[in-house]
Structure 1
Amino acid sequence: MKWFHRLLVAATLFLFPSVYSTSEAQFIKDIKRRAEEKLKRKAGDKVEEGIDKTIDGTGKKKPDGSGNNSGTASSDKTGTANKKGGAVVVEDDANANANATPTLKSYSKFDFVPGQKVVAMEDFGQDAIGDFPAKWNTNATGEIVNLDGQQGKFLMLSKEGVFMPEFITKLPDNFTLEMQVFCNPEFSFYSSGLYFMFAALKDRDKEFGNYKMYGQANREAVEVSIHPTDAGGNRGHSTFKVWVDNKETIKNEASNSKFHAKTHNQVKVSIWRQNQRLRVYLDDEKIWDIPRAFTMGKDYNSLLFMMGGTHQAIDRYVIGSIRLAIGAPDTRNKLINEGKYSTTGILFDVNKDQIRPESFGTLKDIANVLNENAAVKVKIIGHTDSDGDDAANLELSKRRAAAVKSALVNEFGIAADRLETDGKGETQPVGDNTKPEGKAQNRRVEFVKM
């Protein structure tokens, strides 16, 4: 029958070439159109699953993020929810990913030290899944999502536009900005990078939309971008620009291995301003250190996130755990002269006493002061926010203080007999426990000179 069909097609082409070629072309177009529509539907269904499975490394379903990410205690270590006052605290490993878990030792070159006071903390806890966050503005769109393997909520960006957290209105001479960034593992080189811009806006409501990917726009900003796929596809990519009076005065670009769609599609971004100087870190790697990035005296008052178009429908960025702190840590003066130093820069896995590796810079800063003042002894005191059970929080704070002592002794060589530990749980708040930034201030470690 196949030979008969081929003969029939050949005869039809010979006798009626235009008629057959037209119908055949239309038939092929219809098949192609239906296939493309099917692929788009399938991609839309799978995009979140693709992001989540790579982040988790297993594809297993984990808690849906309805709990908080406060780092306070839960009733056990098996994922059981612990209810208090209507809130649900879910035990989970905040560092779950497809790569080897980093350690303090692996962060030995990480010199980032968070600012002294947390002034803004965005965990999107007040927003509903599927909505654009209420405290942000945009000329595009975005939506709040959950991610498998991660507690809390996140903002997903997949459209060209600018996104501004309206509650950040001041970026002073000394500040630090930290956040988590994710992308899908198939992210295309031809899709846009994710831009962070520290802008000086005269009219925030009207001007923020002028910061766009293409076309002329008035800009007064310091700009950094990250992209998870470089031209070769084997690394990530980053750019840096300084805009003064709508002109690029400094710019550069470089590849890096820390944010790469195929192998490392989640990254901790840490940004540190000290007067004119700007340092940018991806996980433990410093990718930019620019001594004359910011213009002194200029009022940088806005943080903008920006992205251009995407080459394929599944490409998107997801951001979360945004933390802004101000002030330069004054460790030596506070501890030696004033007798007490408090820091929110020592971070722990959720509901655990495991110190997270990005705490290395803060621990090293404290260790340096202790090494320079060999006669000084200190008491290390742990504190938590008010989420979770009171007794469990007290116990957790004591274990965290002990973990800090252990790190100072084992990683930095401080004599154990110079260090005592204690924990106060949630009993001595310094911030408002009803607000994310207040909770972040309360999750602290104090060093008291004895």
Structure 2
Amino acid sequence: MKSKTVIKNTKAIVFLLFLLISQKDIQAQSGEFKTYSKFDFVSGEKVVAFENFDQDQIGDFPAKWNTNGSGEIVLIEGTPGRWLKINSNTTAFPTFVNNLPENFTLEFMIAANPELNYAARFIAIIFTPNTEQKKLFTANFPSRVRASFTPLKGGRGKTSVDMYGADSKAIAHNEITTDKFCLPQKSTVKVSVWRQKTRLRIYLDEEKVWDLPTAFDASVGYKKVVFGTSNLTSNMAFYISDVRLAVGAPDTRSKLITDGKFTTTGILFDSNSDKIKPESYGILKQISQVLQENPTLKVRIIGHTDSDGEDTNNLDLSKRRAASVKANLSREFSIESSRLQTDGQGETQPIAPNTTPEGKANNRRVEFIKL
């Protein structure tokens, strides 16, 4: 009798510990979302380029990129995924990006060695109409827009945006300080770029650092995305990862109310997890606003995955991710859970081939179906 009582008490303790851990996880995620409460960035509707370097070997330069310098795929201790290490005075660009429409979003991670002094050393991203390889390898090409990021020591870094005319002469220079990319405290940062015709917005993690209404020239057709580094010492390097280019502004309200279906690739999760990344806040807020403005509207949330991994695991993951979206809308935006149903289809309903990184990125999606 005593042993049965001990077993029951042990099970009760384990269950309470599970609840406590779960509650802490929920509180932690809720805290992350509160940090992003002013984050209004929303990823483009369709992913047209995606690069996480999974198809390349460690130590190699990525096969679908070109460069005039040196670089290699590496792992960074304590951070997930693979990174492209870019060395001194190096230009590198994805060869598969050849057109930048009037409206696009570009997201990527950048990192620097936190132990080094990067004073006056920077990594830049450049948008240019040039497609000729030789010109792309020079810093002095016309009609470009350049955003630079310098991780200074002492708790403050800086970022700048420069615009150049058709004669390659500088039109404008803008510069501010930021604590989002600085050493040694913050050596890794998520960069989100949003172009809407001539307007340029740039976010570092949850903070909007740039909102320039006339950064892009409306008469210029921008084609290429180029990454470049300044002069670095031999032990310095910058790193980039998870490059994601998407096009089209999602029209959440029209598609959900009129068409009865809204699909997004902008709700992001940790790898093989149902934990929603906080940078998904913008699109979740848009969805919640549609639900708040239409109090009788009910939806079914359906999760989808790519084909990596086992079928049964993907089905379970898709269901858990849909449930996580429901919980988030209820917890963070006060949407009644009774208005939200969930389901998951795993990898069974692809909308693109699972043979390319872009196809996989588009298949990792969440659908909202009007009931």
Per-residue deviation, 1:322? 0.5
Q: 2: distance between equivalents of 1:209 and 1:318?
A: 19
Are residue 135 (structure 1) and residue 96 (structure 2) matched?
Answer: no
* Corresponding residue of 1:152: 81
CA contact (8 A) 1:142 1:159 kept: no
Task: State the identity as a percent.
Answer: 49
Verify: 1:295 aligned to 2:221, yes or no.
Answer: no
Deviations 1:245-304 (CA, angstroms, capped at 9, x unpaired): 112222210100111120011111111111111110110011100011111131100001
Whether contact under 8 Å (2:268, 2:277) holds in the other structure is yes
Larger Rg: 1
In the other structure, the counterpart of 1:208 is: 136
Q: Give the distance between the partners of 2:197 and 2:134, measured in 1 at CA.
A: 27
Give the aligned partner of residue 4 of structure 1: none
| Corresponding position of 1:118 | 47
Partner of 1:431: 352
What pairs with 1:276-291 in structure 2 (closer than 5 Å)? 276-291=198-213
Match of 2:267 in 1: 346
Distance 1:223 1:151 in 2: 28
Q: Distance in 2 between matches of 1:165 and 1:171?
A: 13
TM-score, normalised to structure 2, is: 0.89
Deviation of 1:391 (Å): 1.0
The match for 1:239 among 115, 135, 160 is 160
CA distance in 2, matches of 1:102, 1:124: 31
After TM superposition, the structure 1 stretch with the greater mean CA deviation from structure 2, 220-229 or 140-149, is 140-149
Cα deviation for residue 432 of structure 1 reads: 1.4
Match of 1:109 in 2: 38
**Considering only aligned residues, what root-mean-square deviation do their CA atoms show, in Å?**
1.5
Gaps of 5+ in 1: 1-99, 212-216
Q: Is the 8 A contact 2:155 2:183 kept in 1?
A: no
Q: In the TM superposition, what is the alpha-carbon distance from 1:101 to its structure 2 partner?
A: 10
Amino acid at match of 2:92: F
Amino acid at match of 1:210: T
Q: Which residue of 1 aligns with 2:293?
A: 372
- 2:328 is aligned to 407
**Residue type at the aligned position of 1:424:** Q
Equivalent residue for 2:226, pick from 297, 304, 307:
304
Alignment counterpart, residue 317 of structure 1, candidates 238, 242, 248: 238
Q: Work out the number of aligned pairs and report it.
A: 342
Quick check: 220-229 or 245-254, which moved more? Answer: 245-254
The Cα of 1:161 is off from its aligned counterpart by: 2.3
Instruction: Write out per-residue CA displacement over residues 384-404 of structure 1, whole angstroms, 9 at most, x where no aligned residue.
Output: 111111111111111111110
- SS in structure 2 at match of 1:195: strand
In structure 1, give the amino acid aligned to 2:100.
Answer: L
SS of residue matched to 1:197: strand
* Cα distance between partner residues in 2 of 1:432 and 1:371: 35
3-state SS of paired residue (2:345): strand
User: Hey, what's the Cα distance between the residues in 2 that align with 1:240 and 1:101?
Assistant: 33
Shift of 1:124: 1.3
Q: Among 272, 287, 304, which residue is 2:194 paired with? A: 272
TM-score, normalised with respect to structure 1: 0.74
Deviation by residue 1:211-251 (Cα, 9 ceiling, x = unmatched) = 2xxxxx23211110011106xx3311101111111122222
Q: Among 81, 88, 111, which residue is 1:182 paired with?
A: 111
Aligned AA (1:194): I
What is residue 4 of structure 2 aligned with on the other side? none
Q: What whole-Å deviation, never above 9, does each CA across 1:402-450 have from its counterpart, x for those lacking one?
A: 1101111110111212111111111101111121111110110000011
Task: Point out where structure 2 has 5 or more consecutive residues left out of the alignment.
Answer: 1-28
**Separation of aligned partners in 2, 1:357 and 1:263:** 20
Contact 1:184 1:314 in 2 (8 A): no
1:102 Cα deviation after fit:
6.3
Structure 2 letter corresponding to 1:319: I
Cα pair 1:187 1:228 within 8 Å, conserved: no
